[in-house]
Amino acid sequence: MAVTRARTRRALTLLAVGAAGVVGLAGCTVGGSSANTDSSVLSVAASAAVTTWDPVRSFSTEALYLGNVYEPLLWKNAEGAAEEFTPAIAESWEVSDDGLTWTFDIREGATFHDGEPVDAEAVAASIEAAKDHAGASFIWAPLETIEATDDSTVVMHLAYSAPMDLVAASTYGAWIVSPKALEASAGDEQYFEVGIDAGTGPYTVKSYSPGEKVVLEAYDDHWNEEALPHYDIIDIAITPDAVTAQQMLTAGEVDLATSLPLENIDTVASDLGSEVRTANSPFNFVAFFNTTRPPLDDPKVRQALSYAVPYEDIIEVGGAGYGTQAHGPVPKGIFPYSEDVPQYSQDLDTAKTLLAEAGHADGFTLNLTYASENSAEARFVPLIKDAFAKIGVTVEVRAELFNQQWENAKADPATAQDIFVVYYWPTYSDAGSDNLYSLFHSSEAPFFNLSYWSNAEYDALVDEAGTLTGSDRDAAQAKYEEAMNLLVDQAPGIFLYDAQAVSIVPTGLEVADFNENYPFTTFFAPIRPAN
Amino acid sequence: MLRFLASRLGTAVLVLFVLTLVVFVLSRVIPGDPAVVYAGPKAPPEELARISEKLGFDQPLFVQYFTYLGGLVTGDWGNSLATKQPVLDELATRLPATLELLFAALLIAVVFGIVLGVVAAKRPGKALDGAIRFLAIGGVSMPAFWLGLLLQVLFVGRLGWLPATGQFSTEVEYVSPIAHVTGFPLFDSVITGNWVAYGDGLAHLILPALTLAAYPLGLIARMTRASMLEVLGQDYVFTASAFGLRSGIIRWKLALKNALPPTMTIIGLAAAYTLTGTFFVEVVFNWPGIGQFAVNAMLAVDYPAIMAITLLGAAGYLIANLVVDLIQARLDPRVRLS
């Protein structure tokens, strides 16, 4: 592994200091980690696997790395920030009154890691590639044409109004990629997979060992001098097991761990003398009812079951208390979330009354499936079973790998499960066009609508709201709220809880706040040693 | 001898062939779309269809199987669905880490197992024998992942003597990077005189190797003890003793040689079993070997990777058995190779 001379010297100093630290600390504490010294290497344990390095096709957990290596036109700021967006590759942008024409001014002086300049042509080519074959290409569906009118101007013409600012800030399918790499990958689909990157971000991929390690190196020519990284090297051990990550963090082998077992968070934090930080996340738990057959085709039965669920206990057990009861399927902090959307709360008497009115006083039996790799679901599903038993409903529970659970659910609603527990998040920061549409808008073949629910009134509301989002967001919000009210009333699913993002910021580090718009990304550039 | 080898190899190939068929069919009949593994959980239907077509998942099962077999014999074992890299490359980069761990564990198990077994057989029923038997039963019955966590809590958490996870410290990679000679990092650091890396690697190896050694060590100690007791009760031992041979010589030279064959069998079986033990140990210690790759492959239902690991594991098992048979024939002339 080639390391430059200057870096080697710095690292040597670090090792000497580290060794002295270990000797000095022997017997009193473990964890004299490099975070406490003036180091240029930040070591991290992260659970995120890389399914692809192709920035166009990427649609999974590799966003952790890609978000440091690539940049979109705009970054969407976390809920509560003064500005909604931070300009990245675009310097400014404007939209026509009808929401159909979006003009982006491209920043001058930015370069791709492979040396190519960033201009309007490169941006248009990236977005065309994304529209053509991105994993999340559907986010560009409203886009009819995109043209570079001059070196620094890109104009998007839409078929119908849509929020292109949100789309351009998506965590999937919106990275701006070097035209040279796009061309190379067009002929060779494996082009990126060895860990090649062609972005503009503050870090570049230095090396990649599949399933094992990702090393990022600071990109010294990044356009934003104010945001230059504080660490030269980010050394990331891919650690799928959260308990192992915890061991590594507490033993001082890594400075930062991106996922820790929720139930141990408090212990780890007090061991390390560091704070626990929580933030909104886009992750949300829903339990779909199979609405195609009795007894769950009856809204009254679905309402009864919604009244039987112990929401607070589920958050306590499933999320170790880190969560809030959901207002419909839109996660807290993401458009068009609203506190005004009603919630059910546990009321077993009402539940029994409703069941009796629906002619099911003696109860019935349902089967429920959940994803076995999701430990939160494994913990809270028994609570649903117990609660339903109290109103005479027997639940048979089955754990399946998500992939299998989903495959079975899509195959044939008539023979599918009665209740399907899902952990969902929107692809970009518009849960109207994603959660509300994907999960509950009627569709011919089920994909994510696994309650198989079909309601013309709901469909109309969501369709209308979708076209309003680009031109009049307040009007869209109002329509979506109407749709959510209807959804909660008709209860095609149980709206369980919005999970919180929980992290431990080790002492000695300053870390930026979690941004729910980029839930899989840990931004490394702003991380620095605390003074 | 040659005929013996040829027939054993023939059987091995047949076993491996049947295994490919069984694992292939089993891994495809369980529900779950391999295209989803490839594209990520939220990929839209069109993308899944495109990938299915590209990777041939839309073909009938037997076509897929023969395509796979064809690749197998020509050295193309397919690409991992999760990492997109050729499976053979993936295994090749991880094999050295696993072999070093396996070798260290078996070395510990064989040396200490035999010594403890002989010592225990010296005065059966006494305190030392009891202690060794306790240790042996503990080693055999303690699940590896549990023992690994216990050792971590003790040696890393409480005492702070050893590193918890990984094969080398991050610093080593930037300060004393290991030259790639044979591909076995610990071995390479010795032959290139990279003592910083060697010391660091050795420290990282101790806990996972001990954890992995526990099971075969217990097994070997018990077997050695039992067969030593049997041998020590035989006439020639009394004769030797009557001729005034020192008891140490009788025990460690005469008796041990005759007590070893059954132990050898156990070592072979234990070696093969230990291979699966690496699955747990590598996950607990974040060891960058095949075991961890295997666990991830199974969780992700990564077919090509699962197939390759199964074949490799089976081949390892067959080879271990063959080697044991050969050694046994050497140690005990009564065993014929036929």
pLDDT digits (tens, 9 = 90+) for B195-209: 888 989 999 999 999
Least confident range of A20-34, A453-467, A471-485, A493-507:
A20-34
**Portion 389-418 of A in contact with B at CB < 8 A:** 400-404, 406-408
Task: State pTM to two decimals.
Answer: 0.83
Laid out side by side, the sheet with A213-218 consists of: A203-209, A213-218, A233-238, A41-46, A256-257
A25-43: average pLDDT: 49
**Cβ(A44)–Cβ(A257) below 8 Å:** yes
By C-alpha distance, which of B253, B279, B268 is closest to B109? Answer: B268
The partner residues of A365 in beta bridges, in order of sequence, read A394
Distance from CA of B269 to the nearest CA of A (A): 30
| Residue A513 burial (C-beta neighbours within 10 Å; 0-12, 13-18, 19+) | middle
> From CA A148, how far away is CA B65, in angstroms rounded?
49
Q: Copy the structure tokens of residue A331.
A: 């996660």
Count of H-run helices and E-run strands, chain B: 15, 0
Q: Copy the structure tokens of residue B9.
A: 């190899």
Confidence of residue A110 (pLDDT cuts 50, 70, 90): very high
Q: What per-residue confidence (pLDDT) applies to B337?
A: 57
- Please, which residues have CB within 8 angstroms of residue A273's CB and are 6 or more apart in sequence? A507
| Residue A91 burial (C-beta neighbours within 10 Å; 0-12, 13-18, 19+) | middle
A3-18: average pLDDT: 38
Confidence of residue A19 (pLDDT cuts 50, 70, 90): very low
The partner residues of A147 in beta bridges, in order of sequence, read A155
**Cβ(A90)–Cβ(A73) below 8 Å:** yes
> From CA A74, how far away is CA A93, in angstroms rounded?
10
Q: What per-residue confidence (pLDDT) applies to B23?
A: 87
Distance from CA of A485 to the nearest CA of B (A): 26
**Whether residue A105 has pLDDT greater than 70:** yes
> From CA B68, how far away is CA A452, in angstroms rounded?
37
Q: Is the CB of A8 less than 8 angstroms away from the CB of B47? A: no
By C-alpha distance, which of A365, A476, A376 is closest to A423? Answer: A376
Q: What DSSP assignment string belongs to B132-179?
A: HHHHHHHHHHS-HHHHHHHHIIIIIIIS--S--SSSS-HHHHHHSPPP
A-chain residues within 8 Å CB-CB of B164? 247-248, 251, 253
Q: What per-residue confidence (pLDDT) applies to A37?
A: 41
Q: What per-residue confidence (pLDDT) applies to A204?
A: 97
> From CA A230, how far away is CA A202, in angstroms rounded?
10
Highest-scoring range by mean pLDDT, A132-141, A373-382, B136-145, B164-173? A373-382
A402-420: average pLDDT: 91
User: H/E/C letters for each residue in A400-418?
Assistant: ECHHHHHHHHHHCCCCCCC
Q: Which residue has the higher pLDDT, A85 or B57?
A: A85
pLDDT digits (tens, 9 = 90+) for B228-255: 888 887 787 778 778 877 777 777 877 8
**Portion 94-133 of A in contact with B at CB < 8 A:** 133
Q: Is the CB of B84 less than 8 angstroms away from the CB of A57? A: no
Helix H or strand E encompassing A397: strand A394-400
Distance from CA of B76 to the nearest CA of A (A): 16
Q: For helices A299-308 and A375-390, what crossing angle results, to 10°?
A: 110
Q: How far is CA A206 from the centre of its chain?
A: 25
Count of H-run helices and E-run strands, chain A: 15, 19
pLDDT digits (tens, 9 = 90+) for B3-31: 888 888 888 889 888 988 998 888 887 77
Q: What per-residue confidence (pLDDT) applies to A13?
A: 39
Q: How many CB pairs under 8 A join A and B?
A: 153
Q: Which residue has the higher pLDDT, A17 or A47?
A: A47
> From CA A293, how far away is CA A302, in angstroms rounded?
12
Instruction: Tokens 């396996």: give the residue.
Output: B102
**Cβ(A200)–Cβ(A118) below 8 Å:** yes
Please tell me which residue of chain B has the smallest CA distance to A424.
B42
Mean pLDDT of chain B: 85
Q: What per-residue confidence (pLDDT) applies to B327?
A: 79
B-chain residues within 8 Å CB-CB of A41? 170-171, 174
Distances (CA, A) of A520 to A92, A179, A223, A378: 26, 26, 24, 22
- Please, which residues have CB within 8 angstroms of residue B64's CB and are 6 or more apart in sequence? B24, B28, B56, B57
Closest partner CB to B152 (pick from A51, A136, A247): A247
- Please, which residues have CB within 8 angstroms of residue B146's CB and are 6 or more apart in sequence? none
Confidence of residue A94 (pLDDT cuts 50, 70, 90): very high
Q: Is the CB of B296 less than 8 angstroms away from the CB of A237? A: no
> From CA A463, how far away is CA A68, in angstroms rounded?
35
Please tell me which residue of chain A has the smallest CA distance to B45.
A447
Q: What per-residue confidence (pLDDT) applies to A10?
A: 38
Q: What DSSP assignment string belongs to A178-246?
A: -HHHHHHHHH-TTGGGGT-----SSEEEEEEETTTEEEEEE-TT-S-GGG--S-SEEEEEE---HHHHH
| A212 lies within 8 A of chain B by CB | yes
B-chain residues within 8 Å CB-CB of A400? 31
B79-96: average pLDDT: 87
- Please, which residues have CB within 8 angstroms of residue A78's CB and are 6 or more apart in sequence? A279, A280, A333, A513, A514, A515, A516, A517
Cis peptide before A72, with omega less than 30 degrees from 0? no
Cis peptide before A295, with omega less than 30 degrees from 0? yes
Q: Is the CB of A427 less than 8 angstroms away from the CB of B284? A: no
Confidence of residue B177 (pLDDT cuts 50, 70, 90): confident
pLDDT digits (tens, 9 = 90+) for A345-372: 999 999 999 999 999 999 999 999 999 8
| A26 lies within 8 A of chain B by CB | yes
**Whether residue A142 has pLDDT greater than 90:** yes
Q: Is the CB of B40 less than 8 angstroms away from the CB of A29? A: no
A-chain residues within 8 Å CB-CB of B87? none
> From CA B225, how far away is CA B124, in angstroms rounded?
9
Distance from CA of A178 to the nearest CA of B (A): 22
A-chain residues within 8 Å CB-CB of B38? 51
**Whether residue A296 has pLDDT greater than 60:** yes
**Cβ(A283)–Cβ(A498) below 8 Å:** yes
Please tell me which residue of chain B has the smallest CA distance to A63.
B40
- Total residue length of chain B: 338
What are A445-448's contacts with CB under 8 Å, separation 24+? A445/A410, A445/B45, A446/A409, A446/A410, A446/A413, A447/A410, A447/B44, A447/B45, A448/A422, A448/A424
Q: What per-residue confidence (pLDDT) applies to A349?
A: 96
Secondary structure percentages of chain B, helix, strand, coil, to 5? 80, 0, 20
**Whether residue A17 has pLDDT greater than 50:** no
B71-82: average pLDDT: 86
> From CA A113, how far away is CA A93, in angstroms rounded?
25
**Cβ(A260)–Cβ(A268) below 8 Å:** yes
Degrees to nearest 5, angle at CA A251 with A248 and A253: 55
**Cβ(A308)–Cβ(A390) below 8 Å:** yes
Please tell me which residue of chain B has the smallest CA distance to A137.
B44
Please report, in angstroms and rounded to a whole number, the separation of the first and last CA atoms in chain B. Answer: 8
**Whether residue A64 has pLDDT greater than 90:** yes
A477-491: average pLDDT: 97
**Cβ(B281)–Cβ(B287) below 8 Å:** yes
Q: What per-residue confidence (pLDDT) applies to A314?
A: 97
- Please, which residues have CB within 8 angstroms of residue B298's CB and are 6 or more apart in sequence? B306
- Tell me the pairing of strands A256-257 and A275-289: unpaired
Confidence of residue B335 (pLDDT cuts 50, 70, 90): low
**Whether residue B270 has pLDDT greater than 70:** yes
**Portion 69-98 of A in contact with B at CB < 8 A:** none
Confidence of residue B336 (pLDDT cuts 50, 70, 90): low
